[in-house]
Amino acid sequence: MKTLYIQITSSPAPEASADLVVYPADMSNYFCNYLEYEFVDGLQMPDGTPCYKEMKPGSLLLAFASEREEAYQSILRQWENIQRDLLREAPAPDTRYEVTLPKEYIKWLLSQEGYIYQKVGEKLVANNILSLSAEDLYEEFTVPCIHQLTDYLRKHPGEFDRFVFSEEGIKSSSRIVKALHEVDGKPVFYRLLLWQQEEEEKQANENRIRSNQEFTVNGVSFTMIYVQAGSFYMGSKEGKENEKPVRLVTLSRDFYIGQFPVTQKLWKAVMGSEAPCSVKGENLPVTNISWDECQVFVHRLSELTGKDFRLPTEAQWEYAAKGGVHSKGFKYAGSDNLDEVAWHHENSKGTPHEVGMKKPNELNIYDMSGNVSEWCAEPYQVSSNQMANMINIIQPNTLLLPLLLLNRVYRGGGYSSGYNCRTSARDYWRSNGRLSSVGLRLVLAL
C-alpha cells in the first residue's frame, strides 16, 4: 500500500521509502518572509525609501531562527495553527489572525546593527501583536499549496492508495481533502493517528520478523537466526576444482537458519525415536542420517509447527557461514583460526562434540565449520570443467549419469576434517547414504 505523506508543518517527517512518498507542503519559511514585509510596512529609510526595498529577505526572522531556535518555534507553532484552519475551509470575510512576537525576538532586533532592525524593534516594542488578514493568507499560501498538491497527483494518477497529513485537525470534509479527491478518487484519506498506529504495528511486525525466532516442539526449543538478504562471492580461487569459478551470488529474500546443527534431542522430539547415531548425547548433533531421512524430518517438523522448514540451499548455507551482510571475510565460519570455531581432525579426538561449544560466526551461528558436516538441498553440481571431463568418462556407460544426479551436497567439514572446514568447501554423497560425520541444519524462508 503506497502512501502520500503531506508535510504541512515543521515537525520531523518520516523517512521516505518505496511505499511512502513525503511531499513537502510546509510553507513556514514563506510565511516568515511574509511577516518580515508586514514588519516594515509603512516604515521608511532616512532618505524616504520604503524599507522593504532595502530589506534582504530572511534577514529579520530567519536570521533570528539560527540563533534563537526555541523562540522561533513559538512563531512557527502559531503559523501551523493558522495553516490548519485555512486548509479546512476558505476563511469568512474580514476574518483575521493574530500572531504574537516573543520578547526574545524584540530584544534580538534591538541588539542588531542596522537601521531596519532598530525601526522594526521599536515598532514591536509598542505592539508585538500583528493582526493578519485571513483572506490574504489564504490566497498567499493555502491556494498555492493546494494547487501544488493537486498538480502532483495529476502527474501521478492512480499511484497512491492513501494520503495523510503531518498534523491532526485536517478532516475528510476539509477543502484540501475534497480538492485532492476531485483530482484522484483512488487514494483514501487517513487521519494521522490512525496512520501512525498502523505504521507502529507494521514496524513492530517487521522488527519481530527481523529478530531471531524460537520454536518449541514437544518440549524441546531451538533458535533460528535471522539472515538479511544480500550478495556475496561464492566459491574460492584457492579451493578445490568443484569450488570454482568464484561468482557473485545474490540472495533476494531474507531467511532464518538454525543457530546450531539439529541435535539428537530435537530429532527425537520430532521423529518420536532416537536417531541412529553411533555416539549418543542429547546435545550432540545428529549424525549417520541420510539426505532422504532429513526430508522426512523437515516434513514432520513443518507439520508440527505450521512453518515451511527445509534444508538450506548451498548459497544460503555458504552465505550464512560467511557471515551474511556482516561478513569479515574469514576463511572459516567466524575466524581464520580453525581451533577457535571448529572441532576438527586435530582437536576432536575422533568424535562429535556438543553443539555451541566453540566461538560463533558474525551472525552468532555455531558449528558451521567442523563438528559435523551438513546436508544441503540440491543435487551435487560439479564445475563446468569437471562436468566436461565426467561426461567424457561416462559416455561409454550412460547408466552412470542418473546415479551421479542422485548425489547430494554436504558442507562445513566434520570432526574428522581440516581442509574441508573452509566455508567454501563442498563434498557429496548419495541421497540414501549415511555418514558418521554428516548431520543437518534447518532453514526457514520468509
Mean pLDDT of all residues in 116-141: 93
- Residue 388's identity, in one-letter code, is A
C-alpha–C-alpha distance, residues 145 and 138, integer Å? 10
In this prediction, residue 3 has a pLDDT band, given cuts at 50, 70 and 90, of very high
**Higher per-residue pLDDT: 88 or 227:** 227
**Higher per-residue pLDDT: 139 or 398:** 139
Give the C-alpha distances (Å, rounded to integers) separating 65 from 32, 62, 200, 292.
10, 5, 32, 71
Mean pLDDT of all residues in 234-256: 93
CB-CB contact of 23 with 149 (8 Å): yes
3-class secondary-structure state, position 224: strand
- Rounded to two decimals, the pTM is 0.60
- Scan for cell 510565511, then name that residue: 31
Give the C-alpha distances (Å, rounded to integers) separating 274 from 235, 278, 280, 281.
36, 11, 9, 10
Number of helical H runs and strand E runs in the chain: 16, 17
For residue 12, what pLDDT is reported?
Answer: 83
The 10s digit of each residue's pLDDT in 276-307 is 999 999 999 999 999 999 999 999 999 999 99
The 10s digit of each residue's pLDDT in 157-189 is 999 999 999 888 788 888 889 999 999 999 999
Contacts 24+ apart (CB under 8 A), 292-297: 292/431, 292/432, 293/434, 294/375, 294/440, 296/271, 297/262, 297/267, 297/270, 297/271, 297/440
C-alpha–C-alpha distance, residues 352 and 348, integer Å? 7
In this prediction, residue 353 has a pLDDT band, given cuts at 50, 70 and 90, of very high
Q: Which residues contact 27 (CB under 8 A, 6 or more apart)?
A: 8, 79, 83, 141, 145
Q: Measured at the alpha carbon of residue 96, what is the angle toward residues 91 and 98, in degrees to the nearest 5?
A: 130
Sign of CA dihedral 298, 300, 302, 308: positive
**In the chain, what percentage of residues exceed pLDDT 90?**
70
pLDDT of 391 higher than 80: no
What would you report as the CA-atom Rg of the chain, rounded to the nearest whole angstrom? Answer: 35
Helix/strand/coil (H/E/C) assignment for every residue in 147-208? HHHHHHHHHCCCCCCEEEECCCCCCCCCHHHHHHHHHCCCCEEECHHHHHHHHHHHHHHHHH
For residue 383, what pLDDT is reported?
Answer: 58
pLDDT of 387 higher than 60: no
- Residue 419's identity, in one-letter code, is Y
Q: What is the phi/psi pair of residue 292, to 5°?
A: -60, -40
Domain 210-445 is classified in which CATH homologous superfamily? paralog of FGE (formylglycine-generating enzyme) (3.90.1580.10)
Q: What is the phi/psi pair of residue 54, to 5°?
A: -100, -10
For residue 62, what pLDDT is reported?
Answer: 83
Give the C-alpha distances (Å, rounded to integers) separating 351 from 130, 284, 287, 347, 441.
86, 10, 11, 10, 19
Query: For the chain, what are the domain ranges?
Result: 3-200, 210-445
Question: Would you tell me how many other CB atoms lie within 10 Å of the CB of residue 103?
Answer: 12
